[in-house]
Amino acid sequence: MDLTQSAARAASDKKAEDIVALDVSAQTPIADVFLLATGSNERQVSSIAEAIEEALLATGVKAIRREGLREGRWALMDFNDLIVHVMHQEDRAYYSLERLWKDCPIVALPADL
């Protein structure tokens, strides 16, 4: 299972909502994929982010940068080719990253997420 799939599965296991992966490789050199997930409150955002980090660490991949885990509003984790955004519902609606990256193709995720 690739990195994006593993991260999406870990988010889903913690009841993340609106899990979307965008292929940003043609638009930016900083990553190949942005994975977006939503938590309903600060505690859940932190829990989702921690679960993703643990799942990817189990595959031998460590985040090179992480921000916002303590605040629980917008956790950002950089795994080099994959950047994960776990956002509170209100922040996700406000920043609307899908709209910002609307020209990017959606990466297929398992249907059971």
Instruction: Check whether 1 has a pLDDT greater than 60.
Output: no
Give the pair of three-digit tokens for residue 19.
């899990």
For the segment 101-110, what is each residue's pLDDT rounded down to a tens digit? 999 999 999 8
Q: Where are the domains of the chain?
A: 3-107
For the segment 45-79, what is each residue's pLDDT rounded down to a tens digit? 999 999 999 999 999 999 999 999 889 999 999 99
Residue 99 class from Cβ within 10 Å (0-12 exposed, 13-18 middle, 19+ buried)?
A: exposed
- Cα radius of gyration (the chain): 13
Alpha carbons 24 and 78: distance in angstroms, whole number: 14
CATH number of this structure's domain 3-107: 3.30.460.10
For the segment 13-41, what is each residue's pLDDT rounded down to a tens digit? 999 999 999 999 999 999 999 999 999 99
